Chain A
């Protein structure tokens, strides 16, 4: 499951932020901010993607670098959230 989440997020990042540049070696733990992969509004695009693709409702408290600043963190965050039923 985690691998699938990671693949899906990685594909989104490559398509949406790296514009198809597959030669970029995106390490699982590399910071998306420090490596200039996402900018301030890119975060909002990432949040929209997670909500749409995984059916997760994200709160403001969720939108912090600790949850979203690397492939590994995003994948872990989604996996954790997916394990909990989304409240109506």
Chain B
């Protein structure tokens, strides 16, 4: 785990620049730092020591000095790879996983990534071939950003390091903002920063004197809908899943420091904690967030699970006002506008982990994507049913079952629910069918965009761009698999793993590990027949079957309650702080230039008068506030201009 920054090209005082870049991301690696420079190349590194505590310093060069790497993440199968490399005569000077990459690269070149099971981003300088290799893990757990400036390639684990480079300014990309206000996340390689990009998941970039070329080395793929699955026996599939998940957890327990676990009280983190507890003879420490609003709180389930496993459990209480208190920091670390406040409690949680003396935690993230746990998958199934059976009398009952935890929807008539979910209206062959209601509801928040921004975006459609990025085979996949692809390939790395995962954990120097995102498990889950994942309207069926002996029935049979946090309500009442009034005020909104000041004022007053329970007003409020904070933090535009006015 760690952070790095570097360059390939001509930089007058490379070491000084590397120093600035790594200082900007020092939170990612509070244990050590180092730098390497060569003519035409530089690597800087900040280290969070987890594997090879005494000898894993970076940047690390091989014995010949011809290869040097700066690495962020973990290679969980490094033990097996090292043993294999040793049998071929390779000699290791350290006990770290970093050195394994160097040896593998020496043997295989950039194809070495195909052998790595892990969450990683790295930059490897090959002095023999005078080229820089950038690589990122398959699912996009670890970040890697880059920018070109005057013929030199700069790269770093976070954008704030790139902003240290003279001539790389922070400027918002209107297209990215439109994508966030439609899809919740920018479509990679685009980022909210104009002319700063991210290396996409499962991608490599090779830069040499001829230029830089990027390619994908792994794809998330599903079988064609009429293909015969090798998984015909549910019992056998469950057994295989259990073995894979156990091994994925086992290798993620590898560390020279204690490993803890997040425990939300839901199915996924409970499974991971249960498996990990059985592998931790010294006992497992678990961590969770509690809320003082009953709608969001899951502490009863957390306590039940912690007691069942006998873990040493600690919780951080997220009270009214806490989200507002930390929100500016959240945006500084997330480096993007967000539409929900959900990252904020996770920021608090990683702080608790760090204060408890741990720096590695397992999480259940990813299970909803690969085993079809999200409500959007069920919703799409109901909408398809309605489209095919417009006269069915059970339509109203199906919609009532979908979102039992949303108070706003509980009071809705069935006719309205059907209308809101577009039941029977959306074309069944629309590639984005599963996500249309969400896209439509989210895009409605763009009503607050200013005239200038609308003019810049004229004719642009984020959903169309999303469609243009789908693989050729997409149309031949089962509808559930299409929906899973959209979640896993775009929202997971673009929002969940970045805004709620890597950035919130690393803000406090904590490494999150994700057993469900082991690529062997992801590939296995993709091959499973849809009905083993979503059985009727029961989500993650096969996962429940595979792990039913691990959990108390109350947890194992629990219907999913998505992780959510209070939104606009967090910023009113006790949570209303000066910065919110200033950032949402007419002057600051006008200075930012992105939103309509009078419309935002009406929204602000509406939210203060009666906190909304629906998605649109909440998302608009959080989206506008976070965009204003983004501007203030990275460009100094908004509030500073308002203060000067």
Contact = CB atoms under 8 A, between A and B. Distances in A.
Contact of B413 (A15, A21, A36, A64): A64
Interface stretch (B28-36, B69-77, B304-312, B404-412): B404-412
A62 B518 CA distance: 51
A69 B419 CA distance: 10
B613 to A, nearest CB: 5
Interface string B610-631: 0011111100000000000000
A39 B615 contact: yes
Contacts of A16: 606
B599 A65 contact: no
Contacts of B616: 39, 42
Given A20-B598, A60-B413, A66-B415, A33 B447 contact: no
Contacts of A64: 413, 415-416
Contact of B447 (A18, A40, A42, A69): A18
Given A19-B447, A20-B598, A40 B417 contact: yes
B602 interface: yes
A41 B440 CA distance: 15
A20 B596 CA distance: 10
A69 B420 CA distance: 11
Contact of B614 (A15, A18, A21, A39): A39
A21 B448 CA distance: 9
B453 interface: no
Nearest to B403: A40
A63 B408 CA distance: 14
A70 to B, nearest CB: 12
A40 B602 contact: no
Interface residues of B, number: 29
B465 to A, nearest CB: 20
A43 interface: yes
Contacts of B417: 40
Contacts, number: 64
Interface in B187-211: none
A65 B417 CA distance: 10
B602 A15 contact: yes
B413 A63 contact: yes
Interface in A26-73: 33, 36, 39-44, 60, 63-66, 69
Nearest to A39: B616
B599 A19 contact: yes
B614 A40 contact: yes
Contacts of A60: 413
Contact of A39 (B413, B444, B598, B600): B444
Contacts of A40: 408-409, 412, 416-417, 420, 614-615
A69 B415 CA distance: 11
B169 interface: no
A65 B419 contact: yes
Interface string B402-444: 0000001101110111011000000000000000000011011
A15 B261 CA distance: 47
Contacts of B603: 19
A20 B612 contact: no
B222 to A, nearest CB: 31
B612 A43 contact: no
A42 B614 contact: yes
A10 B84 CA distance: 73
B450 to A, nearest CB: 12
Contacts of A65: 415-416, 419
B598 to A, nearest CB: 6
Contacts of B419: 33, 65, 69
A41 B602 contact: no
Contacts of A20: 598-599, 602
Nearest to A37: B444
Contacts of A66: 415
Nearest to A15: B602
A14 to B, nearest CB: 10
B447 A21 contact: yes
Contact of B416 (A19, A21, A36, A43): A43
B441 A19 contact: no
A33 B440 CA distance: 11
Interface string B163-181: 0000000000000000000
B375 to A, nearest CB: 14
A39 B602 contact: no
Nearest to A32: B419
A39 B441 contact: yes
A40 B213 CA distance: 47
Contacts of A41: 408, 612-615, 617
Interface in B53-110: none
A16 B416 CA distance: 19
Contacts of A43: 412, 416
Interface string B593-607: 000101110110010
Contacts of B420: 33, 39-40
A36 B448 CA distance: 13
> Most chain-B CB neighbours within 10 Å: which of A18, A33, A39?
A39
A80 B407 CA distance: 30
Contacts of B448: 19
A32 to B, nearest CB: 10
| Closest 7 pairs (CB-CB, A-B) | A41-B614, A41-B408, A19-B599, A19-B602, A36-B444, A64-B415, A39-B616
Given A33-B416, A60-B413, 10 more contacts: A20-B602, A33-B419, A33-B420, A36-B444, A39-B616, A40-B417, A41-B613, A63-B412, A64-B413, A64-B416
26 contacts: A19-B447, A19-B596, A19-B598, A20-B598, A20-B602, A33-B416, A33-B419, A36-B440, A36-B443, A36-B444, A39-B441, A39-B616, A40-B409, A40-B420, A40-B614, A40-B615, A41-B612, A41-B613, A41-B615, A41-B617, A42-B614, A43-B416, A44-B408, A63-B412, A63-B413, A64-B415
